[in-house]
Amino acid sequence: MDESFAAVEYVVHTIARTAVDNETYFGDLDAVVGDGDFGYSMARGFEIVLAGWDDIDRSDVGTFLKKIALTITGRIGGTSGPIWGTAFLRAGSVAGDRTAVTADDAVAMLRAAIEGIKARGQSDVGDKTLLDALVPAVDRLAAELAAGADGQRALDAAAMTARERAEATRELIAKRGRAAYTGERSIGTLDAGAVAVAVMAERVAGGWADHATPHTSSEEAP
């Protein structure tokens, strides 16, 4: 398998593992002004991804990501399933039948995922959602790569940006989801989705140096 395909696998596996490992943390964040089911829903969906990891169709990157999307959409409840499912589906559509992806391809896939999230959730940066961390992080990743940074440095910078912007959601008023009903009471709280993006980005960056080691078991952590 091409090393860049292995890198896609690594990123997806890390996202899934992080969602499962942080079920309680993400749920507690969501419970402050939301309905509290974010952590539970994410964990249940990505548990299914991990359980069937070895059997996911790897004919090409697009097929792989679309299979992940179908699993997520079918297993994650609430609004999270459609949002995350759409993100993987859009990324997979851009990847198409590629069996290898370049850095430019990866950025294009991430940008397509963002546009899918915006359309599906009818949201944008500033609405106190995961987009408030994801969009700046991808922008930073693209800028670092364009400036000649290697993958590790670019990912480190993107993770730092994701964390900074996730923390900055404290100052925002929630405009989407259950938290939107709390109005100004949502000020001073962190958005669970944005924090999840930050934690996932940090995990991806933290294990990037070892990403070429294949995951031979669905139980193996990155």
Higher-pLDDT residue of 148, 182:
148
Asked if pLDDT for residue 183 goes beyond 80, the answer is no
Mean pLDDT of 157-173: 93
Give the least confident one: 2-11, 130-139, 171-180.
171-180
SS3 annotation, the chain: CCHHHHHHHHHHHHHHHHHHHCHHHHHHHHHCCCCCCHHHHHHHHHHHHHHCHHHCCCCCHHHHHHHHHHHHHHHCCCCHHHHHHHHHHHHHHHHCCCCCCCHHHHHHHHHHHHHHHHHHHCCCCCCCCCHHHHHHHHHHHHHHHHCCCCHHHHHHHHHHHHHHHHHHHHHCCCCCCHHHHHHHHHCCCCCHHHHHHHHHHHHHHHHHHHCCCCCCCCCCCC
What are 59-80's pLDDT values in tens digits? 999 999 999 999 998 877 677 8
Q: Is the pLDDT of residue 222 over 90?
A: no
Which segment of 23-27, 93-97, 143-147 scores lowest on mean pLDDT?
A: 23-27
CATH entry, 3-210, from 1.25.40.340, 3.40.50.1820, 1.20.810.10, 3.30.70.20:
1.25.40.340
The mean per-residue pLDDT over the stretch 2-16 comes to 92
Q: For residue 74, what pLDDT is reported?
A: 83
